[in-house]
Amino acid sequence: MASRIEHRATFPASVADVVAAQSDEAALRARLAEIGGPDAALESHEVTGDGVRYTLRQAVPVDKLPSVAQKFVSGDLVVRREHTVSGTSGDIRAEVQGVPAEITATVSFTENPGDPAAAVQVTRGEVTVRIPLVGGKLEGVIAEQVTTLLEREAEFTTSWLTRS
């Protein structure tokens, strides 16, 4: 059974500006440098006719993981995330290196109904770990780590928007 991920963030900028801050190559490189973890990298970035596709590699240091997760990874928890953004929505697919796990999510960007000058980003997804008996526990740990990362990325995006 998969563990659900749901994250909502509100930004003090237009939908177009938030989408750009979430997918611009310079913004992604700066975000990875600041919060990407050990050996973080933007592996690819391609502007398409209707949006952008990019792949990130990020890591959570093994000493920052709960003990239950440390038993199943050798070294840092490395996550490879593939993003596709088109207009005001996107898809995310991620794999966790060395763990039979998959993370899938959708993301949407909308105008904040209470403040038309602000945008809301909603990410919904799930984590699936295919390890008998302990998969559910690891799913919960990974879902928690992903949610924490989404919070940190939202904080970075807000900061990036105020810098620009």
Q: What pLDDT does residue 21 have?
A: 95
Q: Give the residue-averaged pLDDT of 67-87.
A: 82
Structural domains in the chain?
3-163 (3.30.530.20)
Q: Give the residue-averaged pLDDT of 62-90.
A: 81
Give pLDDT tens digits for 8-37: 999 999 999 999 999 999 999 999 999 988
Evaluate if residue 164 carries a pLDDT over 70. Answer: no
Q: What is the sign, positive or negative, of the torsion defined by CA atoms of 60, 61, 64, 67?
A: positive
**Out of 48-57, 64-73, 103-112, 137-146, least confident range:** 64-73
Give pLDDT tens digits for 101-156: 899 999 999 999 889 889 999 999 999 988 887 777 888 888 988 899 999 999 99
Reading the block at residue 28, the tokens are 């992604």
Counting Cβ atoms within 10 Å, is residue 116 exposed (0-12), middle (13-18) or buried (19+)? exposed
Q: Three-state SS string across the chain, please?
A: CCEEEEEEEEECCCHHHHHHHHHCHHHHHHHHHHHCCCCCEEEEEEEECCEEEEEEEEEECHHHCCHHHHCCCCCCEEEEEEEEEECCEEEEEEEECCCCEEEEEEEEEEEECCEEEEEEEEEEEEEEECCCCCHHHHHHHHHHHHHHHHHHHHHHHHHHHHHC
Q: What pLDDT does residue 38 have?
A: 85
Q: What pLDDT does residue 66 have?
A: 67
Residue scoring higher pLDDT (105 or 163): 105
| pTM, two decimal places | 0.88
* pLDDT band, very low/low/confident/very high, at 73 (cuts 50, 70, 90): low
Other beta carbons within 10 Å of 71: 10
